[in-house]
Amino acid sequence: MMLREVAEGVRVHESECIQSNAVIVDGDAGVLLIDPGITREEMASIAADLRELGTAVAAGFATHPDWDHVLWHPSLGDAPRYGTALCAASIRDVLARPDWKEQVAEGLPPEVADDVPMELFGLISGLPAGASQVPWDGPRARVIEHRAHAQGHAALLVEDRRVLVAGDMLSDVLVPMLDLQAADPIEDYLAALELLEAVAHDVDVVIPGHGSAGDAAQLRARIEQDRAYVRGLRSGRMIEDPRIGSSAKPGWEWVSDVHEWQVERLTGGGGTET
């Protein structure tokens, strides 16, 4: 059993690849599976664990339209897979390109590229725009949509369980990765952090898309840490952050490169590039 219970009826499967978290919420007739994972093997192992628990996937949810959040595996079954309307539209645009497979493949980390199943990639049904919850038979999962990391990005607040599934926000290993396509990525990010802060008093456990789950104090600390990082980008001053530079976790040194790239893009140091 690779699943770890982090709150009553909420389990996490952590991938070896970029510490991706798949989140499993127990429902009345099957589970809600959020961001299922990266490799065939690990998704099949989640399916096997669910069988062992006497349950199966009743619904899926993708927090945002990045490749590592819209994968699926046949063993997980053919439950509906939801995302926000914008998430679904964005991934549909990807799938409409004749060479989408090659394009996606180019972005995969080489060490897992061969293990990533592409056959059910991105088959996301969009919720109605502004939908407030995931339509499924289980604890209410409130959709908190915001534009910060990506278009159509949403966190889910599993209200009764006091769990916030944050998508690619509030990580202890990744600095905020801004959506540089947006008109105002910095203000978008700060606004999203405020949305998450507004529900913090309802949360005992935060689960980021990548990294470690944290408690209520961690949630507040991560919001502050991310806000400081983004404000640092805005001011152009030197950013000190434990996730980059010499204090980065071993294996995560590349986050410093992401950081340098963001600084260059946002401070105009790199000039215009499209």
Site of interaction with Zn ion (CB under 5 A)? 66, 68, 168, 209
Produce one character per residue of 69-90: b if its CB has 16 or more CB atoms within 10 Å, e if not. Answer: bbbbbebbeebebbbbbbbbbb
Ramachandran region, residue 152 (left: φ > 0; alpha: ψ -120 to 50; beta: rest)? left
Distance from C-alpha of 136 to C-alpha of 33, rounded to nearest angstrom: 11
We find the least distance from the C-beta atom of residue 236 to Zn ion, in angstroms, to be: 27
Other Cβ atoms closer than 10 A to 271: 7
Select 94 or 216, whichever has its Cβ closest to Zn ion. Answer: 94
Select 15 or 139, whichever has its Cβ closest to Zn ion. Answer: 15
Q: Which of 160, 134, 161 is nearest to 10 (CA)?
A: 161
We find the least distance from the C-beta atom of residue 109 to Zn ion, in angstroms, to be: 11
Distance from C-alpha of 215 to C-alpha of 29, rounded to nearest angstrom: 28
Select 68 or 188, whichever has its Cβ closest to Zn ion. Answer: 68
We find the least distance from the C-beta atom of residue 133 to Zn ion, in angstroms, to be: 23
Select 58 or 192, whichever has its Cβ closest to Zn ion. Answer: 192
What sign results for the dihedral spanned by CA atoms 141, 8, 195, 156?
negative
Select 55 or 256, whichever has its Cβ closest to Zn ion. Answer: 256
Select 73 or 149, whichever has its Cβ closest to Zn ion. Answer: 149
We find the least distance from the C-beta atom of residue 71 to Zn ion, in angstroms, to be: 11
We find the least distance from the C-beta atom of residue 167 to Zn ion, in angstroms, to be: 8
We find the least distance from the C-beta atom of residue 66 to Zn ion, in angstroms, to be: 5
Interaxial angle between packed helices 216-235 and 254-266, expressed in degrees from 0 to 180 and rounded to the nearest 10: 40
Distance from C-alpha of 162 to C-alpha of 9, rounded to nearest angstrom: 11
Tokens (6 digits) for 192: 């999203």
HSE on the CB side for 200, CA within 13 Å?
Answer: 19
We find the least distance from the C-beta atom of residue 209 to Zn ion, in angstroms, to be: 5
Distance from chain centroid for Cα 127 = 17
Select 168 or 241, whichever has its Cβ closest to Zn ion. Answer: 168
